[in-house]
Chains A and B, each alone.
Chain A
Amino acid sequence: MNRVSRLALCHYWVAFGLFLPAVVLGAWQMLMRSPLPAPLDDPNTYYISMSLHGTVMAYVLTTFFVMGFGYAVTATSLGRPVRGMMAAWVGFALCLFGTLLAAAAILAGRATVLYTFYPPLLASRWYYGGVLLLVGGSMIWVVLMILNMLAWKRDNPGAPVPLAMFAITATAYLWAWSASGVAAELMGVILPAAFGATAQIDAGLARTLFSVTLHSIVYFWLMPAYIAFYTLLPAAAGGRLYSDKMARLTFIMFLVFSLPVGMHHLFADPEHGDGFKFLQGFFTFFVVLPTLMTVFSICASLEIAGRARGGRGLLGWIGALPWNEPMVLATGLSLVMLGLGGLGGIINMSYAMNSMIHNTSWVTAHFHLIFGGAVVIMYFAIAYEMWPRMTGKPLRSKAMARWQLWLWFLGMLITTIPWHIAGLMGQPRRVAIFDYDIPVVARTAALVDVSVLGGVVLLISAILLILVLLRSHLGEKTVERPLRYALAVVAPTRLATSLNGFALWNAIVLVLMLVAYGYPIGQFLFVLKPHSAPAYNVTRDGADSD
């Protein structure tokens, strides 16, 4: 096993190693809030569990997975060792240390603030410090991705950067922009209060800063899935990528449009006027474009593969595709969930419709379907694709892997469809206990019971995932096969500068961010009267002497 593979595998193992207990917590939470009896039915424990589940799934699983994926992509797509291995390990250690700090603070019951912090709630400084270290450690990864791409371009003047590398660098830029919001919130508003420098928290400012992160972070999570769609899937299906240029434009559009849109999470916040809420909501519609381009591209690529494998007729190519390949199967399932979740998302971001579903289970259902479903299932597929290449040990049971993917897909639908409906019926989110004796709540009982069943299916699937990976890991070492990236139908030999780098697009992001966030953030400093609220310690010793 070479050095980069070991680095990437360590990241993957941390990601999936913490993923399994987080799924257990999630399944227990489903049970706890249902009419069924749950062991340890204690609302405080529910919020500890929920904070841990959210922090692990949103920050730990994703960050470690994307970082590991990034290193693997850099080495394989550029065909040379990753530069800055030492720094990469330092980043890994920082992220791991931060994760452990944050997890310890939550488990000690001193950080039940959920993963979006909810200022002016104030938790233990160790929790915020841990999250900041995790985000900070990942910035080393960001710098390494950018430096590796620039070094390759310097050594290969004029040559197009390989698509996978171009896309992972877009991901790095996206994450740097995105993380600036949460970093500013933590360092500027929350940590001063956690360290006792101030007793007040400006919740409006904190929420606005976090909104910079809140939406774009989802695209950071999503990018590995899209990279797999464009660069791994066509190869796994035995075909070619429909268009390299379209792929690059897609990643560029994700970078540009996922950032100045976060205020659609603040539609109900009183500090902001209608103008910027609408403006960012309007911008959000344009995020649909790269997704539609992707669906088109992927279907076209799959059609090329299907026809190359002998598929005939209008739809005959679909049956000709190698559905027994985990990557192909996962993509199919992922696109179904992406479609359903995406339609729900359009409702969330529409200024007027948002008020129907604001703060209801609909929102929880939406992000579980999009992230937990469409994205995470691609993480599994990427793991199944990359594990054998990195360890040299083939996937021991493809059938078991297919079962795992199907169960995840079905479990996620069984969980989230009733959840969506319960949300429309008015069930609020982030609530530990419901009184099912109340008639209006009783109407949701059956739906909640069904979604518990989905939680159990998801848990079985998560256990299968770890089993498949462990069995493969302990298996025989056979000949290594290099990771193959899909070739485009027309492979680019020359590219316009703008499609081979990010200077132009970062400049555009900067301007858009100034337009979209300049006033909404600036008003807290210059226009509004100070309206901070006292920080509200969730524990007595949260911010005082630890």
Chain B
Amino acid sequence: MRVKKSDNISDRWPPIAWMSMVTLVAVAFVLGFLVLGRYRLYAPTVNVWVAMCRSLGLTPDLGAANEPQPTPQTPTSISWTTGTLAQISSGDKIHGAFIALNCTACHGEAGISSSDLAPTLAGIDAAATFKELADYRSGKRLWGVMNGISAALSAQDSADVAAYYASLPGGLPVLTGRSTPASGRTLRETDSAARLVFAGDPARGIAPCASCHGPEGYKLGAPALTSQRARYIERQTAAFAQGLRGNDINMQMRTIAKELAPDEMRAIAVLYGGGAPQ
């Protein structure tokens, strides 16, 4: 059916639509920015201007505070900024190999330690080495020898030696973050160490070790533990638990280690380091 042009029909919709929209926006604005911004249950009632700022999320505490602030207590001086990551990835292996001549006495010639006091470094994540060296340098992690050695290294030296050890084969496996589906990685796992490693213990707030330290799981700054020396792992876990070591950025290791019983620490350490030459 052919009909007349619709232009002939008076179109009342534009004014109705625009007026409704303006009304709606105005009502929402008054409620959201004036009423809600002005009257708060647990905050003082403020004037219109401050109310609008408060509703935008611009509150006075966004600016610099006038009161003297206590020095912040930080677990480490490293944060994973673009600059840090760029410096780590710019590490020069060849220069690193030269620096590493200073490390072989304790960490082994091929980066594979034969001492329970020193960890295996071959294959270790470059970010982890870089951060630990920085923490030794700034005194955030204490171990006499390492505090002395790290003080002689610049940040770039640390990146270089980190790149060198990351490239050494035969030690710790490279963590990919990718995993192959496998059964028995939940709380139904009967072996308690394997259960802690793969499923953690939610009741105690323990995340699975494997999600950061592998096998397969990977998180920036966390070293692989498979093939690490079992006694070294156990000692570090205990150090976190007792507050002797506290350079974990988000306090995750201190929190988790405190919850672990000594025999659990040992069982986990053996599960990870069982394959390492002892």
Question: How far is B219's CA from A279's CA once the two chains are assembled, in angstroms?
Answer: 39
Q: Are A493 and B202 in contact (CB under 8 A)?
A: no
A44-B181, A274-B57 known; A534+B28 contact, CB < 8 A:
no
Interface of A: prevailing SS: loop
Question: How far is B29's CA from A478's CA once the two chains are assembled, in angstroms?
Answer: 60
- Interchain residue pairs with CB less than 8 A apart (21): A42-B181, A44-B181, A109-B178, A158-B5, A200-B82, A273-B58, A274-B37, A275-B36, A275-B37, A278-B55, A438-B202, A494-B6, A496-B6, A496-B11, A498-B14, A508-B18, A512-B21, A523-B57, A534-B82, A537-B218, A539-B178
Which 10 A-B pairs have CB atoms at the shortest separation, nearest pair first? Answer: A273-B57, A275-B55, A498-B13, A278-B32, A539-B177, A496-B11, A109-B178, A158-B5, A45-B181, A44-B179
Q: Are B58 and A527 in contact (CB under 8 A)?
A: yes
Q: Is A13 an interface residue (CB 8 A)?
A: no
A42-B186, A512-B25 known; A540+B176 contact, CB < 8 A:
yes
Q: Are B52 and A275 in contact (CB under 8 A)?
A: yes
Q: Are B33 and A275 in contact (CB under 8 A)?
A: yes
Partner of A275, one of B2, B3, B11, B32: B32
Binds B, one of A33-41, A125-133, A379-387, A409-417: A33-41
Q: Is A79 an interface residue (CB 8 A)?
A: no
Nearest B residue to A515, CB-CB: B25
Partner of A534, one of B52, B176, B182, B220: B220
Q: Is B152 an interface residue (CB 8 A)?
A: no
Nearest A residue to B84, CB-CB: A534
Could you tell me the distance in whole angstroms from the C-beta of B180 to the nearest C-beta in chain A? Answer: 8
Could you tell me the distance in whole angstroms from the C-beta of A136 to the nearest C-beta in chain B? Answer: 27
Question: Which residues of chain A have a CB within 8 Å of any CB of chain B?
Answer: 32, 37, 39-45, 48, 108-110, 157-160, 198-200, 271-279, 282-283, 286, 432-435, 437-438, 441, 493-500, 504-505, 508, 511-512, 515, 519, 523, 527, 534, 536-542
Per-residue CB contact flags for chain B residues 1-34 toward chain A (1 = under 8 Å, else 0) read: 1111111111111100110010011011101110
Question: How far is B206's CA from A385's CA once the two chains are assembled, in angstroms?
Answer: 53
Nearest B residue to A495, CB-CB: B6
A43-B208, A199-B86, A274-B55 known; A504+B14 contact, CB < 8 A:
yes
- The interface residues of chain A lying within 8 Å CB-to-CB of B180 are 109
Q: Are B82 and A199 in contact (CB under 8 A)?
A: yes
Q: Are B183 and A40 in contact (CB under 8 A)?
A: yes
A199-B85, A274-B54, A435-B187 known; A40+B181 contact, CB < 8 A:
yes
Q: Are B179 and A504 in contact (CB under 8 A)?
A: no
Q: How many chain B residues touch the partner (CB < 8 A)?
A: 64
Q: Which one of B7, B37, B57 has the greatest number of beta carbons of chain A within 10 Å?
A: B57
Question: How far is B203's CA from A277's CA once the two chains are assembled, in angstroms?
Answer: 34
Question: Which residues of chain B have a CB within 8 Å of any CB of chain A?
Answer: 1-14, 17-18, 21, 24-25, 27-29, 31-33, 36-37, 52, 54-58, 80-82, 85-86, 174-188, 198-199, 201-203, 208, 216-220
- The interface residues of chain B lying within 8 Å CB-to-CB of A441 are 202
Q: Are B2 and A159 in contact (CB under 8 A)?
A: yes
Partner of B9, one of A110, A279, A496: A496
- The interface residues of chain B lying within 8 Å CB-to-CB of A494 are 3-4, 6, 8-9
Partner of B179, one of A109, A157, A158, A278: A109
Could you tell me the distance in whole angstroms from the C-beta of B13 to the nearest C-beta in chain A? Answer: 4
Question: How far is B91's CA from A95's CA once the two chains are assembled, in angstroms?
Answer: 41
A435-B202, A500-B6, A515-B25 known; A42+B32 contact, CB < 8 A:
no
- The interface residues of chain B lying within 8 Å CB-to-CB of A508 are 17-18, 21
Q: Are B1 and A493 in contact (CB under 8 A)?
A: yes
Question: How far is B56's CA from A271's CA once the two chains are assembled, in angstroms?
Answer: 10
Question: How far is B177's CA from A519's CA once the two chains are assembled, in angstroms?
Answer: 38
- The interface residues of chain B lying within 8 Å CB-to-CB of A278 are 28, 31-32, 36, 55
Partner of A496, one of B10, B25, B181: B10
- The interface residues of chain A lying within 8 Å CB-to-CB of B178 are 108-110, 539-541
Q: Are A540 and B6 in contact (CB under 8 A)?
A: no
- The interface residues of chain B lying within 8 Å CB-to-CB of A37 are 188
Nearest B residue to A49, CB-CB: B181
- The interface residues of chain B lying within 8 Å CB-to-CB of A542 are 177
Question: How far is B17's CA from A283's CA once the two chains are assembled, in angstroms?
Answer: 15
A41-B184, A435-B203 known; A271+B57 contact, CB < 8 A:
yes
Could you tell me the distance in whole angstroms from the C-beta of B10 to the nearest C-beta in chain A? Answer: 7
